[in-house]
Amino acid sequence: MVVIEANDLKFNYGKNIILDGINFSIEKGKLVSIIGPNGSGKTTLLRNISGALRPSAGSIKLWNKDITSYKKRELAKHIAYVPQSTMVDFGFTVMDVVLMGRSPYIGRFGSETHRDMEVAKDAMEMLGVLKLKDKKITQISGGERQRVAIACALAQTPEVIMLDEPVSNLDIQYQVQVLNLLKNLCSEKGMTVLVVLHDLNLASEYSDTVILLNSGRIEHMGSPYDVMTVPVIEKAYNTKIYMMANPISGKPYLMPVRI
């Protein structure tokens, strides 16, 4: 079942072409990672898919319906988005912030129900931030804030969750914890995950599908075994690498080579 589909998607800021004809379709329940060198258009692609940016040409379809035809509130029930960095200057508590994930479900004059509280608590539990619930968002570390942002997205109970480099700021145990969690959400709850990853080995290890973006085009798309090959990666990143099979999972494992 296809959840998201891009048809000849183009996006430009003024004369600056960022995305130049993107085509793909993503199946329900898959973990899809987007990789590519800096400035290749990863974040812009994600923001086009989430509806935050409007494509300059082409279209994005969610459940076979153009994304621009959804109401913002309706869309927020389908898609959650975790931005690269979240900086909040006002002293909301962690609980407040996670509960904001419920707002697409709460009427203008309604208030949070018991169920909203439960969903928010479950999400915090999953990310290991429940113990921080009464702390102020301004007083926790960057890594904790990142996990709170993911909890907020999960509280939205979306079908699709998009994350922009969610693990770059995290310690190694949380990188594994977050990616395991995302993987489980895919396989157990049928959630579709679209994630920009910086670390190629994490992408290789966890992805069902890898999209390699370069200069606003999809250079390769396929399983980690198809995309993570020496010639493909060397060409895209313009550097020398060495590749072996991960001794535990057998997935491709890359190392940069000092020349």
Partner 1 sequence: MGDMSKRRICSFLLTAMVVLLIVETIACTAIGAADISFMDALKAVAFKINFLKGIISKSGIKESTVTIITGIRLPRVILAAFIGSALPVAGASYQGLFKNSLADPYIVGASSGGALGAAIAIIIKSKLGISGFSMVPFFAFAGALISTYVVYILGRIGGKLSITAMMLSGIAVNSMLSAVLSMLLLFNHEQMDQVIMWTMGSLQYAGWEQIEIVAPCIVAGIAVMYFFSRDLNLMMLGEEQAQHLGVNTKKLKKTILFAGAFITGVSVSVSGIIGFVGVFIPHIARILLGPDNRLTIPFSAIFGAMFLMIADSLARTLISPMEIPVGVLTAGVGGPFFIYLLLKNKNSIE
Q: Which of 7, 12, 59, 103 binds partner 1 (CB under 8 A)?
A: 103
Question: Of these, 1, 38, 89, 250, which contacts partner 1 (CB under 8 A)?
Answer: 89
Please report how close the Cβ of residue 240 comes to partner 1 at its closest, in angstroms.
Answer: 37
3-state secondary structure 170-210: CCHHHHHHHHHHHHHHHHHHCCEEEEECCCHHHHHHHCCEE
Q: Does 55 bind partner 1 (CB under 8 A)?
A: no
> For residue 209, what are the β-bridge partners?
32
Query: Under rule CB under 8 A, which residues in 104-143 are in contact with partner 1?
Result: 104, 106, 108, 111-112, 116-117
The three-state secondary structure class of 221 is strand
Q: Hey, what are 168's tokens?
A: 């770059």
Using CB under 8 A as the binding rule, the residues of this chain from 228 to 257 that contact partner 1 are none
Q: Does 201 bind partner 1 (CB under 8 A)?
A: no
Token pair listed for 197: 């990853």
CB closer to partner 1 out of 99 and 196:
99
Q: What whole-number distance in Å separates Cα of residue 93 and Cα of residue 135? A: 5
Choice from 36, 41, 83, 166 touching partner 1 (CB under 8 A): 83
Q: How far is residue 155's CA from residue 60's CA, in Å, rounded to a whole number?
A: 24
- End-to-end distance of the chain based on CA atoms, in angstroms? 45
Q: Whose Cβ is closer to partner 1: residue 8's or residue 74's?
A: 74
Shortest Å distance, C-beta 93 to partner 1:
8
Q: Do residues 213 and 21 touch, judged by C-beta distance below 8 A? A: no
- Residue 16 CB burial class (10 angstroms; 0-12, 13-18, ≥19): exposed
* Minimum CB distance to partner 1, residue 65 (Å): 17
72 is a contact residue toward partner 1 (CB under 8 A): yes
Q: In the complex, what is the shortest distance from the CB of residue 89 to partner 1, in angstroms, rounded to a whole number? A: 5
Q: Which residues bind partner 1 (CB under 8 A)?
A: 13, 47, 50-52, 72-77, 79-81, 83, 86-93, 95-97, 99-101, 103-104, 106, 108, 111-112, 116-117, 156
